[in-house]
Amino acid sequence: MIPALEKPVTYIKGIGPKKAELYAKLGISTGYDLLCHFPRDYIDFSQPCEIASAPLEEPCVVRARLVKKLAPAFIRRGMTIYKAVLTDDTADLTLMIFNAEFLFRSLVERKEYILYGKMSGNFLRREMSSPMIIPADSPDLIQPLYHLTDGLSQNVLRQNIHSVLSSIGGDIYEPLPKRITEKYNLCSLDYAFENIHFPRDAHSLAVAKRRLVFEELMTLRLGMRLLKNRSITVTGCTMTPADLTEYYSSLPFELTGCQQRAIAECCADMCRSYPMNRLIQGDVGSGKTAVAAGAAFFAARSGYQTALMAPTEILASQHYETLKGFLEPLGIKVALLTGSLTPKNKAALKEQIKNGEYGVVVGTHALVQQTTEFSRLGLVITDEQHRFGVGQRETLASKGENPHKLVMSATPIPRTLAMMIYGDLELSVLDELPKGRQKIETYAVTGKLRQRALGFVRDRLDEGRQGYIVCPMIEENDMELKNATDYAEKLASNEFRAYRVGLLHGKMPAADKDRVMRSFKEHELDLLVSTTVVEVGVDVPNAVIMVVENADRFGLSQLHQLRGRVGRGSYQSYCILITDNVTEDSIRRLKILSSTSDGFKISEEDLKLRGPGDFFGSRQHGLPKMKIADMSSDTELLQLAQQAADEIIASDPTLDSTENKGLRELAEKLFERGTEA
């Protein structure tokens, strides 16, 4: 990095403290940040259309000769309209400019201009008001468009970025090693910055963009690999192979092929001399718990304890029940550590854990992680559901002698993305559901059918079943969204007067949430009205119907997760997605859910439709924010960049060589920048 680029933006010509504040709003504090504020789009002035056939009421580019300037019209004080007539020989065009006298004066009759703006009028009379205008002989025919903030205009940004570029005069430090730029045919960073902001032509722009995307993806991959290498230390918990038949035959069902494979992969990992760092990725209901229990069984046979951490108390007690059922018949004692234990009982339990009486300890993250001592901890399992962050994982270990780590995630992720997101983990995928799973009948309907849908819910409740009604998060400034609280009250006093209705939302204290969830589980409530908090893996087999309000507000993967809350028992289950947004797009999106129950397929569609930024509905993948790469469309580059990164890491695992120093800086910077949260 050259020092000039590290300085605050106020060092740049034309930027004072006021503008610096505005830039801060865009997250820009240095010259380098400004260079990395890449255009969100471009206007291509090199491809004009004919005035006569230009589409009306949409932005377009036309190229025309100025025929005549007309006399200005003074509308009122402070409002003058300047008009001129232009032609491209297919039709005439009236140009209207409000107040910008200086611009108007600069226009010259008989000269050609290129205009970008919205065409209005009709077939006989065409007009454009306040378009962007450049002379037809301008060398800059592709103009960048930036994300702005109030008080900063496109022009100001262009000028400021131009100042930065000319101040460093093509003297940018090149972070990529020469053999990489050569092998992958990448342009220099100078060229890339210059042409991403001021492209000479479409080709230069493509070349510049390719380089920057490549660099960003490669940096991401390098960062993930650095994290992974950091965690390769020696473990004091190398286990010995053991026969799993006893575990398999004690289960009330036969494990699927992929469950068995996942268990085998875990066992192999745990027999090595360095810690396992593995993710089990499986759709809702794919049976991750049985895999976790298998790994815990294996660890116990080698004399090691397992800790299983869940995000909420209710999930912890659910896992506890399951693991107890699976493991205690085999002589492995399971403990549950929760906040609701009395201090005395808690202390006693902890003492027993410390003495090694329990083979498995289940609890919430906070309890197990911070305050518990083990006699021989060998395996740490985390149930993260979809709540998954890169940074979070780093803190998990640090107990015992570098225990093995296993993470469970219920978010199916397209392969390409998984490679990136889980680049620091080994991956076991459960892509096959246990036999005999019923399909959840899913319908996408408009609000017109709401009353019928609610009637259908009542019918199920009358049969003794339970149901969920989910509405998006409470967002105060969005009146259209159904506020969960109000909505629950309305439902409770009208449509569901005769039933027991509970409310669950994200802003409730954890203890209250647990209480409500528990009474729903115990069937003290018939209907649960909730925001998305319900999606965290709670198992209530008697719940058979879910209605989702404003369903188009959710990502497909998120809806799929939500839907996984029903269909967990033997009853036919239903999911009704209500949306008042009846655009073809939103209906098409929701129809995908009625047509398939394959979480991986759904996630591919989601990625295509919404891009990775929104992938988890609320951006929870924990990856650093991308500035230019788009992991859903840049898949070819993604693979090349991964390949390049893996080559580099193979020869220099910690990026310590002089040649790779720049890359290391980039990777550290990227992960410093924070995650998409």
Interface residue list for ligand ADP (CB under 6 A): 253-256, 259, 282, 284-290, 410, 434, 537, 539
- Residue 434 interacting partner from ligand ADP, Mg ion, none (CB closer than 5 to 8 Å by kind): ligand ADP
Phi, psi of 387 (to 5 degrees): -80, 95
DSSP 534: G
Q: Which is nearer to ligand ADP, 256 or 416 (CB)?
A: 256
Q: Which is nearer to ligand ADP, 294 or 472 (CB)?
A: 294
- The label of the residue with tokens 């056939």 reads 53
Q: Which is nearer to ligand ADP, 222 or 284 (CB)?
A: 284
Least distance in angstroms from the C-beta of 498 to ligand ADP: 31
DSSP 49: B
Phi, psi of 83 (to 5 degrees): -125, 150
Q: Cβ(198)–Cβ(140) under 8 Å? A: yes
Q: Which is nearer to ligand ADP, 52 or 251 (CB)?
A: 251
Least distance in angstroms from the C-beta of 258 to ligand ADP: 9
Interacting positions 537-556 with Mg ion (CB under 5 A): 537
Q: Which is nearer to ligand ADP, 62 or 380 (CB)?
A: 380
Ordered alpha helix ranges (H), 522-627: 556-563, 584-595, 599-610
Q: Which is nearer to Mg ion, 412 or 537 (CB)?
A: 537
Least distance in angstroms from the C-beta of 323 to Mg ion: 12
Q: Cβ(193)–Cβ(35) under 8 Å? A: yes
Which secondary-structure segment (H or E) carries 227? Answer: helix 202-231
Q: Smallest Cα–Cα separation from 424: which of 618, 605, 671?
A: 671
Interacting positions 582-641 with Mg ion (CB under 5 A): none
Q: Which is nearer to ligand ADP, 48 or 412 (CB)?
A: 412
Q: Cβ(220)–Cβ(625) under 8 Å? A: no
- Residue 256 interacting partner from ligand ADP, Mg ion, none (CB closer than 5 to 8 Å by kind): ligand ADP
- Residue 253 interacting partner from Mg ion, ligand ADP, none (CB closer than 5 to 8 Å by kind): ligand ADP
Question: What CA–CA distances, in Å, run from 149 to 56, 307, 664?
Answer: 28, 48, 32
Least distance in angstroms from the C-beta of 284 to ligand ADP: 4
* Structural tokens at position 266: 């875990």
Q: Cβ(272)–Cβ(256) under 8 Å? A: no
Least distance in angstroms from the C-beta of 440 to Mg ion: 17
- Residue 98 interacting partner from ligand ADP, Mg ion, none (CB closer than 5 to 8 Å by kind): none
Number of residues that bind Mg ion (CB under 5 A): 1
- Residue 282 interacting partner from ligand ADP, Mg ion, none (CB closer than 5 to 8 Å by kind): ligand ADP
Least distance in angstroms from the C-beta of 520 to ligand ADP: 17
Q: Which is nearer to ligand ADP, 36 or 251 (CB)?
A: 251
Q: Cβ(45)–Cβ(117) under 8 Å? A: no
Q: Cβ(310)–Cβ(337) under 8 Å? A: no
Q: Smallest Cα–Cα separation from 115: which of 48, 175, 169?
A: 48
Count the alpha carbons within 13 Å of 38 in the hemisphere toward its beta carbon: 18
Question: What CA–CA distances, in Å, run from 86 to 80, 106, 134, 143?
Answer: 20, 15, 14, 22
Q: Which is nearer to Mg ion, 537 or 624 (CB)?
A: 537
Interacting positions 480-539 with Mg ion (CB under 5 A): 537
- Residue 212 interacting partner from Mg ion, ligand ADP, none (CB closer than 5 to 8 Å by kind): none
Q: Which is nearer to Mg ion, 129 or 322 (CB)?
A: 322
Count the alpha carbons within 13 Å of 141 in the hemisphere toward its beta carbon: 18
Least distance in angstroms from the C-beta of 623 to ligand ADP: 23
* Structural tokens at position 172: 């940018």
Least distance in angstroms from the C-beta of 407 to ligand ADP: 13
Judged by phi (left if over 0) then psi (alpha if -120 to 50, else beta), residue 170 lies in left
* Structural tokens at position 658: 């002089």
Least distance in angstroms from the C-beta of 59 to ligand ADP: 47
Which secondary-structure segment (H or E) carries 461? Answer: helix 450-462
- Residue 284 interacting partner from ligand ADP, Mg ion, none (CB closer than 5 to 8 Å by kind): ligand ADP
Interacting positions 158-197 with Mg ion (CB under 5 A): none
Nearest residue to ligand ADP on Cβ basis: 287
Q: Which is nearer to ligand ADP, 539 or 604 (CB)?
A: 539
Least distance in angstroms from the C-beta of 537 to ligand ADP: 6
Contacts of 658 (CB under 8 A, 6+ apart): none
Least distance in angstroms from the C-beta of 313 to ligand ADP: 17
Number of CB atoms found within 10 A of residue 40's CB: 10
Number of CB atoms found within 10 A of residue 193's CB: 23
Interface ranges with Mg ion (CB under 5 A): 537
